[in-house]
Amino acid sequence: MTDSRLLRSFIPPYILNRIIAHGSEPQRTAAMRTLNHVRSLLPNPGPPSRPLAQAILPPSNKPGIAQRSIHDAQNKMLLPGMAVRLEGQAATGDPAVDEAYDALGASYDFFWKVLGRDSIDNKGFALIGSVHYGQGYENAFWNGAQMVFGDGDGEIFQRFTCSLDVIAHELAHGVTESEAGLIYANQSGALNESLSDVFGVLTKQYSLSHTAEQADWLIGADLLMPQIHGQGLRSMSHPGTAYDDPLLGKDPQPDHMRKFVITTEDNGGVHINSGIPNRAFYLAARALGGFAWEKAGRIWYDTLCDKRLSQDATFEAFAGLTVENAGKRFGAREVAAVREAWAQVGIELVLEVV
């Protein structure tokens, strides 16, 4: 059994609640079914009671080569479902299956080629994906052993496999749990979500060869149906502007500490307040220029792997470590850029880095 406290979902409860309040009957039904499922798998926000779950398949014994297995849940909520495409097999013609296979490969390649990391646990962890999960399921999640993708309702959300950054986002939750185990609540939970957005958007940028200037800095840009007024689910460059729609409402993410949202919903606002560290990363990446994964991404990854990063880390504690790691890996220019990025979102780091 998977430890249910490891479930990390992409669509936040506040969006599902909004659909339940304002959607049509079919939309409300799909959102309610999704929200009830997510809540049933989140008994508490504490740290995992045991190490990273065992993968369904043995790890790859060839570093640099992904071990993928895509399963069809056949619109049920039983995992992993029927195996339909294993590593090295040809495309099936099912868009969800083939998109999941390709995106897991692209995500693995990013972590391996850019960061030198061999899958989720850095030991060749087998990448398992289940598609066609549930009926009209409006979410994607990582459950501690695998990634799971719904088909969406076809009115608000597309199938969740069509967005590379969403798949990379979910895989990155496993990396965060393997390295830092950031508690999924309050500021540490928002950092957990932000790190998944960071590595999700970097995977997309890497696959497109986009510089920090060229990139759209959107998370879930491919998910929204054309009739929804929005660019995506989150904007890292301008949190709070991703969507403004009669059904979904307005993107509530803050872009500065003075707008920090205090709430008991969503484990203390982990999907809302992640906008603050998201913008700090964007500002650092833009200031450093070039490809965001080469400097800013490296600094954030070094910080995720820093043994001084506590499970209940605050934004300020994480920010301080990014500045230190900028100095360790690069130099004064990078230190200044990272420090200034955090200052622009209201996190002033007083102590000088030695």
Q: Check if 173 is active-site.
A: no
The torsion angle over the Cα atoms of residues 16, 17, 23 and 26, rounded to 10 degrees, is 60
* Rounded Cα distance, 174 and 298, in Å: 18
Q: How far is CA 82 from CA 14, 74, 127, 135, in A?
A: 32, 8, 15, 16
The catalytic position among 170, 177, 193, 334 is 170
Q: Which of 225, 222, 206 is closest to 214 using CA atoms?
A: 206
Write the Ramachandran bin of 327: left for phi over 0, alpha for psi from -120 to 50, otherwise beta: alpha
* Rounded Cα distance, 301 and 176, in Å: 10
Q: Which of 99, 263, 241, 248 is closest to 167 using CA atoms?
A: 99
Query: Is residue 227 within 8 Å of 243, Cβ to Cβ?
Result: no
Write the Ramachandran bin of 215: left for phi over 0, alpha for psi from -120 to 50, otherwise beta: beta
Query: Is residue 159 within 8 Å of 177, Cβ to Cβ?
Result: no
The C-alpha R_g of the chain, in whole angstroms, comes to 19
Write the Ramachandran bin of 171: left for phi over 0, alpha for psi from -120 to 50, otherwise beta: alpha
The catalytic position among 138, 179, 271, 334 is 271
Say which amino acid occupies 212: A
| Helices marked H in 70-160 | 95-115
Q: What does residue 237 show for φ and ψ, rounded to 5 degrees? A: -80, -35
Start-to-end Cα distance in the chain: 46
Q: Check if 170 is active-site.
A: yes
* Rounded Cα distance, 185 and 312, in Å: 8
By annotation, the residues acting in catalysis are 170, 271
